[in-house]
Amino acid sequence: MSSPLPPPGQLPLPPLTALECATLDWREDATGEAPHSTRYEDVYFSRHDGRAETEHVFIRHNHLPERLAAWQTARPFTIGETGFGTGLNMLCAWSCFERHAPASARLHLVSTEKHPLTRDDLERALAAWPDFRHKAALLVAQWPEPVSGVHRLILDERVTLDLHFGDSTERLSRLEGRVDAWFLDGFAPARNPDMWQPALFEAMAAHSHADATFATFTCAGFVKRGLKAAGFAWEKVPGFGRKREMLRGHIETPPADISRHTTPWFIPPAPCPARHVAVIGAGLAGTSMAEALARRGVSVTLIDRQAPGAGASGNRQGALYVKLAAETNLQSRVYLAGLLHTRRWLARLDPARELWQDCGVLQLAQTDKEARRQAAFTDAHRLPPGVVEGIDADTAGTRAGTPLSRGGLDYPHAGWVRPAALCQRLAATAGVHFRQGEVTALAKRGTGWQLTLTDGDMLMADQVVVATAWQAPKLAPLAWLPLQPIRGQVSEVRVPEEAPTLSRVVCAGGYAPPAIDGVQCFGATFAPGDTGIELREADHAANLAELQRTLPDYVAALADAGVDLNPARMHGRAALRAATPDKTPYAGPAPDAERWLSDYADLAKDARRIPAAPGQHHPGLWISAGHGSRGLASAPLCAELIASRICDEPLPLERELVDHLHPGRRLIADLIRGKHG
């Protein structure tokens, strides 16, 4: 028997890499073909009775029809599964939910998978069930690249699927959330012994709600012993088909959660009512936050002194890109997860691509040092080429649509977005009420919050999300929050219809997307601490110089086409972004800074002296800020993270990444460095 896994904070993060996809052969029977795993020498399902087995084992013996019909809780009913496979179990659960749950209910599905199917194999496998055609198409359309981590798929307004790609035990140990019903599946224990281990059952128990149930097709003795030792009560019941018996049961003695004993400050606040949430700030962080809450049925008041998308999110075009570290770190994991999430989110929000284009992003290696860094990155991570790949100068030039002397990293499914138009679309989401005005004071009143506006009006909300970038510390509870304004100016030139254009967003010292609306955008300057937003000719000149360094042939082609490249006559836009000291956004609950500085003061003397006191937060106050120049890759996922926490559902990131985004991390870091006291 294996020993229990240590808490996730003590586990090394697996490499940021591509997973090995499932290898299949397709076996014919009297009813058609069925997928068979060549790795595990086992079938995914039988076409003859595979669906009936799922209904018998997992649906019936978790009592899902009755439990879903009676579900009146505000949070979603959550199903956890070990081994997503073809998705048949989850599609059956989704169908059961539609048949039995009340209209107000929501369903959250969590499933692990170490060897995901390819998109083509998934589509082929699910074709066996014609009545699932619509559901299968929604799943296939959002099917993620085989990258380790959490991938959130919004299947419809009431159903969310989190795919945790990687080893089941390791993935569940890092799950931030709890489950109501477990599908303990996967290939048979004799075929896949690495999964059926005591540590898996312990991880399931640690992430179970108090009345959680489980069902599994196997009756193996070591499975029964492992479940019992982890705190589950089980019973044998008639199995399906030729399997005489199976197991079902429930959590009897949930274990204590010790996973945060080394970081008690990150213990999340208890859930509180969220019928009405005020979101302050209508840039990308605020409007994506409003959409995420409204999609969950929460009433949202969105407040800004300007129109949605009028601040730093108001540029004509923004690049959806990331710059990942050569060595695996938490920040790179957050941004890669955010990039992949935003692309799925945009495809669902705007399938016609009126507001965005996934034309690809090319990150050029302009110097030998950067070329070495990129080479180290590709050697260390080996991500799927559908996510990122290193390419030479000739390939880069072909993909960018202009000759290039350097290669770089190509992100083929990244691209550009119209951020101002996107913010306006999000602000118009059903359930979101926009109110123009500036919040000058924020105070706790009873179980909610009172917001005071400049015109003297007041409004009450159950909870509040502050998404006002560098101005967030103007509100008293957040005065301690370290944020820096950074001025950025983007330049624009008119281009005739016959002028050449780029076919990818090209990034180096600045960025240049393909021209749209007869305008070529490029930039942006980077001026920390500068709060001026007037246009400056010197900044236009700096942007043009950077464009010429990066894309000399393209600039020459624009000049030949008659484009006016005189900085004195350029248009553009200047705005202020916000940056955190460590360049990772803040996304999470607002700490009570005075309590943290008091409760954790001993860290200043000895960082190993960790008090047991859980972190105290301002109940119902949240922060999404500091997204900087990569907000398109971070803000939508951070909105989903906060909305999930507010609505008491599993989170779309591993626990370490949730903690990495926590706004209180700087308080702890400064205490350890002796900067408080």
DSSP category for residue 303: E
pLDDT digits 0-9 by tens, 279-290: 999 999 999 999
The predicted pLDDT at position 189 comes to 82
- Give the least confident one: 34-38, 233-237, 534-538, 595-599: 34-38
The predicted pLDDT at position 2 comes to 39
pLDDT digits 0-9 by tens, 79-103: 999 999 999 999 999 999 999 999 9
Rg (CA), the chain: 26
The predicted pLDDT at position 50 comes to 84
Q: How far is C-alpha 629 from the chain's CA centre?
A: 17
The mean pLDDT value of the chain amounts to 94
The predicted pLDDT at position 49 comes to 81
> Is residue 520 classed exposed, middle or buried when 0-12, 13-18 and 19+ CB atoms within 10 A define those classes?
buried
Half-sphere exposure of 320 (CA within 13 A, CB side): 33
The predicted pLDDT at position 6 comes to 52
The predicted pLDDT at position 47 comes to 58
State the residue for tokens 């926009």.
Answer: 434
Mean pLDDT for the stretch of residues 359-379: 95
| CB atoms inside a 10 Å sphere around CB 606 | 9
Judged against a pLDDT cut of 90, whether residue 41 lies above it is answered with: no
The predicted pLDDT at position 7 comes to 56
What is the identity of the amino acid at 421? A
Mean pLDDT for the stretch of residues 244-263: 86
pLDDT digits 0-9 by tens, 522-568: 999 999 999 999 999 999 999 999 999 999 999 999 999 999 999 99
Judged against a pLDDT cut of 80, whether residue 38 lies above it is answered with: yes
- Write the DSSP assignment of 98-143 as a string of letters: HHHS-TT--EEEEEEESSPPPHHHHHHHHTT-GGGHHHHHHHHHHP
Tokens representing 74 are 């505000």
**Confidence band (pLDDT; 50, 70, 90) for 3?**
very low
Tokens representing 333 are 């994991």
Q: Are 329 and 124 in contact (CB under 8 A)?
A: no
The predicted pLDDT at position 168 comes to 96
Domains of the chain and CATH, by start: 24-251 (3.40.50.150), 273-311+432-483+582-673 (3.50.50.60), 484-579 (3.30.9.10)
Give the predicted TM-score (pTM) of the model.
0.96
What is the identity of the amino acid at 77? F
The predicted pLDDT at position 546 comes to 97
The predicted pLDDT at position 253 comes to 86
Relative orientation angle of helices 537-550 and 552-560, to the nearest 10 degrees: 110
Mean pLDDT for the stretch of residues 166-178: 95
> Is residue 395 classed exposed, middle or buried when 0-12, 13-18 and 19+ CB atoms within 10 A define those classes?
middle
d(CA 652, CA 654): 7
pLDDT digits 0-9 by tens, 313-361: 889 999 999 999 988 899 999 999 999 999 999 999 999 999 999 999 9
- Polymer length of the chain: 677
Judged against a pLDDT cut of 80, whether residue 114 lies above it is answered with: yes
pLDDT digits 0-9 by tens, 468-508: 999 999 999 999 999 999 999 999 999 999 999 999 999 99
| CA-based nearest residue to 182, from 205, 154, 155 | 205
Mean pLDDT for the stretch of residues 30-45: 80
* Contacts of the segment 49-53: beta carbons below 8 A, 24+ positions apart: 49/240, 49/241, 50/88, 50/128, 51/88, 51/92, 51/129, 52/240, 53/217, 53/240, 53/241
